[in-house]
Structure 1
Amino acid sequence: MDLQLQGKRAIVTGGSRGIGKAIARQLALEGADVVIAARGQEALQATAKELAALTGRTIVPVVTDTGSTDSVNALIAHAVEALGGVDILVNAAALPGGISTATGIAEVIDAEALLDIDIKVIGYLRTARAVAPHLLANGWGRIINIGGLAIHRTGRPVATLRNVGVAAVTKNLADELGPQGINVVAVHPGLTRTERTDSAAAARATSGNTIGRIVDAGEVADIVAFLASPRSVAINGDAIAVGGGSPGTIHY
């Protein structure tokens, strides 16, 4: 299937490593030019060089702190200048699992909880707010927000909260922007193999989903690439679980 992404212009936050890097790679393989954003300059530059050599597409690294409105606005301006515009935003700039490790309310530290929400929920909202005028001017666009399957689980209240926040932001944006040709979708990975995954984590995944193995970041990226494409027009405001299936639960 031709995803019709040839020549599209994308921004991927959190694009220097992990799921974000895999998404940037797949979008570029499908013919998009990509701005990758993250806080670490060295990793960004290495990833940009690697992906440009692999795909032959333009890959632009931009150091960005999505906790800063000024930094986010500068990212969007840089992307528009470098690529001649923007069509797709993928929000993936968040620490996997979050900062807070609290498993009960007594363990929640206010500053950690607020930082988690600022990075993953408000950070996503900042980038969407900055890019929306450009997508509206195009009359077409895609925003994909990377959440997590903690949205469906108790046991880590802040982790659940931040992913519920991603879903809420996604649905609000979808309802507002959908009539103008901009689809907004949330994608919720579970435990996913990236360059950081060790054998113990991979083994844990075999009992945590219904496919019996860990999902690879590239497999998540395949789903995101479809959602970023014109082919995905029938999906808007929804949340797509990409964790290999959750045993014993029914969502409808």
Structure 2
Amino acid sequence: MLVARDAGALETAAGRVRAAGPASRVLTIVADTTDDTSVRAMVAQVVDELGGVDVLVNAAARPAGGAPIPPLTELTDDAVLDEIDTKVLGYLRTARAVAPHMTAQGWGRIVNISGLNARRTGSIAGTIRNVGVAALTANLADELGPHGVGVVVVHPGYTETERTAGMVADRVASGGVTEDEVRAQLAAATSLRRIITADEVADVVVFLASPRAVSVTGGAVAAAGGERGTVHY
């Protein structure tokens, strides 16, 4: 079941999933994770149509790096609260709605997509929202773990997506550099010296959502091609 606010985007995504794999049913629901009523209705529909909920992957957030980051004097309360409502509280709402179904069956996996801004300065709203997701993940893992439900957070770094071309073009226009130079700068920040793809992040998520990852819960997994010059322990 794919869930998002935009029906058109959902159908496009569903078409890609159907074309790429052996899934027998790919369904869609239009819902808004900033609205608890919408979230609860969505989960009820999932349970009705699919018979239950085994895995929840939370990935509802506006991408970082799209717009210029405002300085402190220009950062509004609403801008920060909107990020928290969408990403932190949005993830809380969906987890809260699926948890009774998972605990009743004695098994489930929740994977929260956050980001490496949790480990970096540079964007107040971006860091706060991602640290919040990590804190939420650890708390959910402690509470739901005794019922067989694992919860983990994945921190992608810069990832090649459909938005990449526009972001690179913006940096080219504002920085007086070429597209190749922008991409080289992004790649140089990783241990692999290349930009990770969305499919490669998805491979990590699929593993973490599986029974094989039962021992991984409460913590954070970076899926960014390596963070040069840092040690996390």
TM-score, normalised to structure 2's length?
0.89
Q: Which shifted more, 145-154 or 106-115?
A: 106-115
CA distance in 2, matches of 1:70, 1:219: 33
Cα deviation per residue 1:24-69 (whole Å; 9 max; x = unaligned)?
xxxxxxxxxxx00011101111221332243232111101110000
Q: Deviations over 1:182-209 (max 9, x none)?
A: 0000000000011221264643321221
- Alpha-carbon shift at residue 100 of structure 1 (Å): 7.7
Matches within 5 A, 1:42-121: 42-57=8-23, 58-97=25-64, 101-121=68-88
Partners in 2 of 1:250 and 1:192 — Cα distance? 21
- In the alignment, structure 1 residue 139 sits paired with structure 2 residue 106: yes
CA contact (8 A) 1:149 1:188 kept: yes
Per chain length, whose mean CA-contact separation is higher, i.e. which structure has more relative contact order (CA < 8 Å, sep 6+)?
1
Correspondence for 1:251: 232
Q: Give matches, 1:200-239, under 5 Å.
A: 200=179, 202-239=183-220
Kept after mapping to 2: 8 A contact 1:66/1:93: yes
- Segments of structure 1 that go 5 or more residues without pairing to the other structure are 1-34
Listed one character per residue, the Cα deviations across residues 68-118 of structure 1 (whole Å, up to 9, x for unaligned) are: 001101110111111111100000011111788545422211111100000
Whichever residue aligns with residue 223 of structure 1, its letter is V
- Please say if residues 141 and 183 of structure 1, whose CA atoms lie closer than 8 Å, have aligned partners that are also in contact: yes
Query: What is the aligned-residue RMSD (CA, Å)?
Result: 1.6
SS in 1 for 2:164: coil
Counterpart CA distance in 1 for 2:149 and 2:123 is 33
Distance 1:178 1:101 in 2: 40
Q: For the residues of structure 1 that align with 2:44 and 2:37, how far apart are their CA atoms?
A: 11
1 or 2, which has the higher helix percentage? 2
From 115, 140, 144, the equivalent of 1:148 is 115
Percent identity over paired residues = 52
In the alignment of these two chains, the number of paired residues is 218
Letter in 2 for 1:54: A
Structure 2 spans left out of the alignment, 5+ residues: 169-178
Detail structure 1 runs of 4+ shifted over 3 Å in the superposition. Answer: 98-104, 199-204
AA matched with 1:167: A
1:109 partner letter: T
